[in-house]
Chains A and B, each alone.
Chain A
Amino acid sequence: MKRKLRIRTIRGKILLSIVIVIVLCVVFSAFIVSQVVKDRLGEKYEVDKMAATESLSYSLAPVLDLYDYKQVERIITSSLTYENIAYITVFDRGGILIVSAAEQNVSSEDLDIEKYNITSNDRVFGSIEVGFSRKYIDEQIQTTTVALISGLAGFLILVGLALFTFINRSVINPLGVFTRTVKEMDSENLALRVNIHSEDELGTLAGSFNRMAGDLEKSHRALKKAHSELELKVEERTKELVEINKQLIGASKHKSQFLANMSHELRTPLNSIIGYTKLMLDGLEGDINEEQQKDLQTVYTNSKHLLELINGLLDLSRIEAGKTVLSYGTFTISDLLSEVIPAIEQLAREKGLTLTYSMAPNIGHPYADQAKTKQVLMNILGNAVKFTNEGSIKLNVVETDKDFAFSVTDTGIGIKEEDLGVIFDSFKQVGPAQIAGYEGTGLGLAISKQFIEMQGGRIWAESELGKGSTFTFTLPKKKVASS
């Protein structure tokens, strides 16, 4: 599996570039050098060949003139010592071989043959044939070329090394310093600085970087400072809030206590007022005449009214103080009705009205605040009796899959359309003079509305003036908490 060679450092890249350049230079120059050497030495070789042959023939001319064939042999034998001469052959005037001398181990293919006439003063004495060995010259060319190229390569390598060292020192090492310093800087080590002070771009870069680091350090410090200041402020605020909270809780407890006290204080005198008046009215203190009866009755009725007002006020203020707590439980509709119906039945009978009620026999059990629901039901039924002079009052309880709905229908005096929304407001009593005789606190429906809405239900009225009204409230079905 071949893996791609990736150079990861700038040093490596530069080194590689230098090496490639050197190699290319060497290859290129090798090519040129070998050509040049070949040409030059080749040329020289040609010239040397000619010159050697010429000088030989020149020196042989007088010897041949004297027919000193021994001398000829001596000359050519000694000339043979020249490394590039392979053989020498001398012919006489008639072309007959006189002397020949040759080196050992000569192959005829590698020979360049020069022929020259041996002459002097235009007199031909013979001819000479010299065989030059090309092997020698080839060897020469080769060694020269190799030497030159090696020298050149060596020189280039040295230059390359020097260049690399220089680049190393001025660029790569500073970069390394830069890289290492920057790596070591994190949010903890913001105090580090790049230690490069050269006057070139790297120095500038380092300077700018150091400045930036300095700024970063400063803002980091400022941020830390702001952070701890903020934390201090938050702590302070929290302390303040804890204090205020304590005070509020204290005040709230105060209010609760106040309401509880008020409840007791207001009711206690009424206890005596209502109690003693009733005692006398019932004749338990002795007989009373008709006028005394009427007077006492007035006191009694008004006291009861006052009690109702106080109860209503206390209920409302408890609701407003958020002190009314719902106390949920499962109860049966029949239990609820049994608490309410008898008293209402009595009131209805006194006025000659009929009271009927209906609910499905297998109706479910609501999970709600029984006491408050009872209070609401009493209120609505009581109102129905109060505002009906003849006819009937019907209570109907229905279960849907979402809630339980209680509706009370009467054949009473009815309510005007525009008043239907208003009647649930505190202290609002509706009606013209015709119903001025109907006392009430004006609080009952307001409290009923609160009690129903606190439990997540709705309450509303429908009516036709002069014909009757229907008041309905719903109690939503809640999931019974598993216990």
Chain B
Amino acid sequence: MEKEGAGKKILVVDDREDSRRLVWKVLGYRGYEVIEAGTGEDAINMAQSELPALILMDIRLPGGIDGLEATRRIKAIPQLAHIPILAMTASVRPEDMHQALNEGCSGFVSKPIDIDELPKQVAEHIARASSTA
């Protein structure tokens, strides 16, 4: 039986290694190929080189480029603009969520990650993106 994520690349961007590993496990067990980036710069580079089907972006990243800035820059690159980006955020403030959406995120998942919800959201957004492509 083919797993739902077969053949699909997911880029997960988070500064904490165990957060990335969790996503890698959860999505990996469902067949997705999960690639990881720890900083905003790495995220942009990897998005360009790997062309993932979806990007999970932690909003708060250390260093010069945070999640929102990385999102902005990725969306600015024509070949990457179609890739859906889900913001991962520990915040529950509506203004933060609105901001994420304004910057180009297609949706968001809140942290701590619900490991049942996450695959569903990923599948849904990939499906939505490919249907509009």
With A268-B90, A275-B26 known to touch, is A282 a contact of B115 (CB < 8 Å)? yes
Identify which of B25, B29, B94, B112 contacts A267 (C-beta below 8 A): B112
Instruction: State how many angstroms separate the Cβ of A336 from the closest Cβ of chain B.
Output: 15
Identify which of A260, A264, A284 contacts B25 (C-beta below 8 A): A284
What separation, in Å, do the CA atoms of A274 and B112 have in the docked complex? 7
Identify which of B16, B22, B112 contacts A307 (C-beta below 8 A): B112
Q: How large is the interface on A (under 10, 10 to 19, 20 to 34, 35 or more residues)?
A: 20 to 34
Chain B residues whose C-beta falls within 8 Å of the C-beta of A9 in the assembled complex: none
- Are B19 and A268 in contact (CB-based, < 8 A)? yes
**Chain B: interface residue total (CB-CB under 8 A):** 19
Residues of A300-346 at the interface with B, using a CB-CB cut-off of 8 Å, are: 307, 311, 314-315, 325, 327
User: Contact flags (1/0) for A259-288 with B, using CB distance below 8 Å?
Assistant: 010011001101111111011001011000
Q: Is the interface of B mostly helix, strand, loop or mixed?
A: loop
Q: Is the interface of A mostly helix, strand, loop or mixed?
A: helix
User: Contact flags (1/0) for A15-39 with B, using CB distance below 8 Å?
Assistant: 0000000000000000000000000
With A268-B16, A275-B26, A276-B22 known to touch, is A327 a contact of B94 (CB < 8 Å)? yes
Of listed B93, B95, B113, residue having the most chain A CB within 10 A: B93
Residues of A54-85 at the interface with B, using a CB-CB cut-off of 8 Å, are: none
Closest to B88 in A: A271
With A276-B22, A279-B25 known to touch, is A267 a contact of B90 (CB < 8 Å)? yes
Instruction: State how many angstroms separate the Cβ of A240 from the closest Cβ of chain B.
Output: 33
Closest to B110 in A: A267
Instruction: State how many angstroms separate the Cβ of A271 from the closest Cβ of chain B.
Output: 4
Identify which of B26, B90, B93, B111 contacts A279 (C-beta below 8 A): B26
Decide yes or no whether B124 CB sits under 8 A from chain A: no
Chain A residues whose C-beta falls within 8 Å of the C-beta of B111 in the assembled complex: 267-268, 271
Chain A residues whose C-beta falls within 8 Å of the C-beta of B60 in the assembled complex: 264
Decide yes or no whether B48 CB sits under 8 A from chain A: no
What separation, in Å, do the CA atoms of A267 and B113 have in the docked complex? 10
- Are B92 and A311 in contact (CB-based, < 8 A)? yes
Identify which of A260, A276, A284, A285 contacts B91 (C-beta below 8 A): A260
A–B complex contacts, Cβ < 8 Å, 27 sampled: A260-B93, A264-B90, A267-B90, A267-B112, A268-B16, A268-B19, A268-B90, A268-B111, A271-B19, A271-B112, A272-B16, A272-B19, A272-B22, A272-B112, A275-B26, A275-B112, A275-B115, A279-B22, A279-B115, A284-B25, A284-B26, A285-B25, A307-B112, A314-B92, A315-B92, A325-B94, A327-B95
Besides A278-B116, A325-B94, A325-B95, 20 other CB < 8 A contacts? Answer: A260-B93, A263-B90, A267-B90, A267-B112, A271-B90, A271-B113, A272-B18, A272-B19, A273-B112, A276-B22, A278-B115, A279-B25, A279-B26, A279-B115, A284-B26, A307-B112, A311-B92, A314-B92, A327-B94, A371-B94
